[in-house]
Amino acid sequence: MTKKLSFSEAFWDSDICGTIGWDRICKRMKDGRKVCTDVVHYLKDRAKAESEYSRALANLARKTDCKDETGGLGESWRVLKDQTVRIAEVHNEAATMFVNLEQELTKFNEDQKKSKQVIDDNVKKYISLKRTEHQKLMNMKKTYNDKCKEYNNAEEQFNAQKAAVTTKKNDLEKAEKKKIKCDDDRKSADVSYKSAVETLENVRIRWENEMEAGCNQFEALEGTRIDKLRDCLWKCTNVDSLACLKHDECSEAVRLILEKCDVSNDLQDFISTNQSGSKRPDPVPYENYYNPMALPPHNRTPSNAPPLLPAAKPIRAGMPPSPNNKKISISDENDYATVSDVQQTNL
């Protein structure tokens, strides 16, 4: 099984001035804050969408007219309108929940930002101090090396002049003084160099302690952030589930009414409420312009039924009779006159 590492074990740099490990942790903290900001924006936009949808449903229900339908279907239509209002309230409640989550996460993100800033500033202060002391150490080391070289050269010159037969006493004394002075400078540089090494080591230890503490604090903050976001996203799904549950309850209320809606009952309900009568109108008879009493063949009464109107006697050829001498007799029911008959007779 792979050993689980902590931040304080996995983000070091072998370079005394290197900060690659701390830089990666800080980037992770920055990215985590950005993720929190993205979730905050999602919650804000989601709350706005739920609120707008709630208002749209409420307006839709208010504009719906349920007066023109009767029976079981009319009742179902009215229940659907009422449940649409209820669904609008459900989405308005969801919008309020999303607003609360957004405000809660915004505060959490700001609190974490302040805590991370304090930790980062403290560690970076020691990183800067460590780099400064390291630069001083490098300068002291260079000075020490240069003084050692100067002493070696002075010592070689002194030994060379001392070994030479022609060297004057005055020149030998000057070479000896130079040697002594270079030795003093070398020893002074050595002391300064050792002091710089000791100072840097003290700074390094303090930086290392702060770095380790900062890693542990950042790890704790990162764990808290992950847990908080996981909890927030879980609550988002709970809001959706609750809204869906209430939404389905509203739909079920409509379905229960629709199950009682019977087509035949609704038809009979309309008939009983709006019926106007069962008697149909009589057929409109044909009326001959010249013989109003005559009936066309399709309007004749059956042979076994009493005549509706008395049949008129055929008109003789010649001019139509005047009203004064017109004689109408009741004869066979098949006797009738038409306009064409009259015209042919006149011819």
pLDDT > 80? residue 1? no
Going by C-alpha positions, the residue among 25, 89, 80, 31 that lies closest to residue 218 is 25
pLDDT attached to residue 65: 78
CA 264 to CA 260: how far, in whole Å? 12
Residue 11, pLDDT > 50, answer yes
The yes-or-no verdict on residue 78 having pLDDT over 70 is: yes
Residue 129 has pLDDT above 90, yes or no: yes
Instruction: Report which of residues 165 and 315 the model is more confident about.
Output: 165
For residue 329, name the pLDDT band (cuts at 50, 70, 90). very low
pLDDT at 71: 83
Cα separation, 331 vs 313, whole angstroms: 6
pLDDT band at 346 (very low <50, low <70, confident <90, very high): very low
> Is the confidence at residue 48, as pLDDT, over 80?
yes
Per-residue pLDDT at 158:
83
Digit-coded pLDDT (tens) for 188-238: 999 999 999 999 999 999 999 999 999 999 999 999 999 999 999 999 999
Percent of the chain surpassing pLDDT 70: 83
Q: Is the pLDDT of residue 133 over 60?
A: yes
pLDDT tens-place string over residues 138-161: 999 999 999 999 999 988 888 888
Q: For position 274, what pLDDT does the model report?
A: 85
All domains of the chain in start order, with CATH: 20-270 (1.20.1270.60), 286-347 (no CATH)
Q: What is the pTM of this model?
A: 0.71
- Radius of gyration of the chain from its Cα atoms, rounded to whole angstroms: 57
pLDDT over 50 (residue 93): yes
* 257-275 pLDDT per residue, tens: 999 888 998 888 888 888 8
Q: 331: which 2 tokens?
A: 């004869």
Give the model's pLDDT for residue 34: 96
- Among the ranges given (95-99, 192-196, 291-295, 335-339), the one the predictor scored with the smallest mean pLDDT: 335-339
Please state which of the ranges 118-127, 298-307, 330-339 shows the lowest mean pLDDT.
330-339
Q: What value does the mean pLDDT of the chain take?
A: 85
CB burial class (10 A; 0-12, 13-18, 19+) of residue 105?
buried
Tell me, what's the pLDDT at 270?
86
Least confident of 77-86, 276-285, 335-344: 335-344
